[in-house]
Amino acid sequence: MKSKLTRVILAASVLAVPFFTGCKKDGASSSDKSVVIWHWMTDRDEALQQLATKYKEQTGNDVQFQLYAPSDVYQQKVRVGAQTSSLPDVYGILGDARDVATFVEAGHVENLTVALGDGAGSWKDSLFTEALETSFFKPGNPFSVPEGYYGVPIDVTTIPMIYNKKLFKKAGLNPDVPPATWDEFLEAGKKLKAAGVTGFTSGWGEVWLIYSLASDLAFNKMGEGKVMKTFRGEVPYTDPDWIDVFRAFENLRKAGFVDPSLVTLGNKSAEQAFASERSGMTFNGSWAVNVYAGMNPALEFAPFRVPALGNKFPQPVWGGAGSTFMVNGKSPKKAAAIEFLKWLSQKDQAAFLASSTKNLPAVKDVNVEAAPVLSEFSALMKDSIHPNRFTVSEDPRVQEVFNKGIQSILIGEKTPEQVGADVAKAKGKATRK
C-alpha cells in the first residue's frame, strides 16, 4: 500500500526534472466527454470501477479510472505526463509537499479552496481536517505556493504499532493492555521472544517507515516546537533529546527480539511475517487491516500508540490522507472533475469504498461494518502528525543520512552519538547550500 501517506521520502528525485511544454494538452483522453483519472491503487481498482459505473447510471456522465501499477511505474507515468503536458483530468502525486509544490508551480494542480467551501454543510466540513491539511499550503509556506487546498483525500491512514492479541496471551502478557512506554515495549518483546516468536518486525528496508517512527518518538520526547527548530537549523541533531531518540533504536537492537532481517525487509514481507503469526508486534499502517484480511482472516490484532519515550508531550501517531486526488489545473474538464470528486466524497460512496477495501474513509461519520477494528485505527487520528502539515520541512538529503544512520544503529555499526554527528554534518552542508 505504498500510496498511503504517500511516501515521505520519495524526495525530489521522483520529480526533479523540468516541466516541458509538449504538443499534447493536459486532460486529453480517448473520449472528450469522459473524466479520466489515473491511479496506482490495485487493491481499490475494482471498487473504483464499480463507482464509475454507478456515477454513469446516476448522472449520465462518464468517468474512466486508469490503473498504472506498481507505484514506481505510476510515478514515472505522472512524471512523463507532467513533462509532456499529457496529464489526465484527475490524478495523485506520490510525494511530499515539495513535490506537490513543483506541480502547482507548473500549473498542473488546481486550487480547490473555493470548491470545498467553508462552514457547516460544506464539502470541506464533511472531510477529516487532518486529511485535507495534507495537501494544504499555509500562507508564507517555504515553497511560495498560494494558500489553499490542492487535493481531495479519498481515505485516511494512521501508522501505529500493532500487536497480536493471541501471541500476547501466549507470552503471559495482557492481551487488552499493550505497552505504553518504550521500556514496557522492550519487555513485551523479550517475553514474546521467550514464548518462541519474533518480538517485533517491520519493513524497515523501506526507510520511510523508520522516519515515521523516529518522528513519532521525537515529537513525544521533545515536542513539535523543538523538532521544527531542528529543521530550521536552530537545534543540532547532537542535542541530548535527539541522541535519546537514536538510543531508542539502539536499545531495541540490544533487547534481542527483533526480526534479524529488519533493516532489509520490504513492508510486504514484514506484513506476511506478522499475519502468519511469526511476530508478535509490528509497525504498520491502517491499510494493513485489508492486507491481513487477505493473508489471515482469523488474525486477532489491534493497534496501539507508539510507546512513550518522554512524558511531557503527547504520544503522536503518523497519520493523515492516505490517497489523495488532485484536479489537473490545465484540464478543460476541471468543473466535471470537481463534480465527480464531490460525488465520490458523499457518505454512500465513501462507505462503499471503505467497506470494499477496508481502508479508513476520509469522510466523517462513516461506519465501516466490514472491519470494526478500523475504528481503533481511526481514533488515533486525533494526535496524528504528518510532514505535509509541518511548518518546516527537513531537507531530503538530511533525511537520507538520518534514516541510514538509524539502520546502522540497528545493525550495531554505529552508536547514537556517531549518527547524531553524521546527521548534524549533513544538516550543516544542506544549510550552507
Q: Mind listing the domains of the chain with CATH numbers? A: 12-157+320-383 (3.40.190.10), 161-284+395-432 (3.40.190.10)
Question: CB–CB of 232/223 below 8 Å?
Answer: no
Which of 364, 356, 369, 367 has the alpha carbon at shortest distance from 381? Answer: 364
pLDDT of residue 22: 35
Per DSSP, helices labelled H in 232-287 are: 240-255, 267-275
Strands, sheet with 161-164, edge to edge from the N-terminal-most edge strand: 281-283, 161-164, 301-304
Return the SS3 of 160.
coil
Which of 131, 12, 76, 107 has the alpha carbon at shortest distance from 378? Answer: 131
pLDDT of residue 25: 53
Question: CB–CB of 237/230 below 8 Å?
Answer: yes
Concatenate the DSSP letters of all residues of 24-60 into one string.
Answer: SPTT--S-TTSEEEEE--TTTHHHHHHHHHHHHHHHS
How many residues in total does the chain contain?
A: 433
Amino acid at the residue 179: P
* 196 contact partners, CB below 8 Å, separation of at least 6: none
Give the C-alpha separation, 229 to 210, whole Å.
21
8-45 burial: b if 16+ Cβ within 10 Å, else e: bbbbeebbeeebeeeeeebbebeeeebbbbbbbbebbb
pTM: 0.80
pLDDT of residue 27: 56
pLDDT of residue 21: 32
Give the C-alpha separation, 411 to 253, whole Å.
7
pLDDT of residue 372: 80
Q: What cell does 410 get? A: 540497528
pLDDT by 10s per residue, the chain, length 433: 433 333 333 333 333 333 333 334 565 444 578 999 999 998 899 999 999 999 999 999 999 999 999 888 999 999 999 999 999 999 999 988 889 999 999 999 999 999 999 999 999 999 988 889 889 999 988 889 999 999 999 998 999 999 999 999 999 999 999 999 999 999 999 999 999 999 999 999 999 999 999 999 999 999 999 999 999 999 999 999 999 999 999 999 999 999 999 999 999 999 999 999 999 999 999 999 989 999 999 999 999 999 999 989 999 999 887 899 999 999 999 999 999 999 999 999 999 998 888 888 899 888 777 678 888 998 898 889 988 788 888 999 999 999 999 999 999 999 999 999 999 999 999 998 6
If you ran DSSP here, which 8-state letter would residue 200 be given? B
Give the C-alpha separation, 350 to 154, whole Å.
8
pLDDT of residue 71: 86
If you ran DSSP here, which 8-state letter would residue 79 be given? H
β-bridge mates for residue 282, sequence order = 162, 201
Contacts 24+ apart (CB under 8 A), 60-65: 61/33, 61/35, 61/336, 61/339, 61/340, 62/31, 62/33, 62/34, 62/35, 63/34, 63/35, 63/36, 63/37, 63/340, 64/29, 64/30, 64/31, 64/34, 64/35, 64/36, 64/37, 65/37, 65/39
pLDDT of residue 349: 96
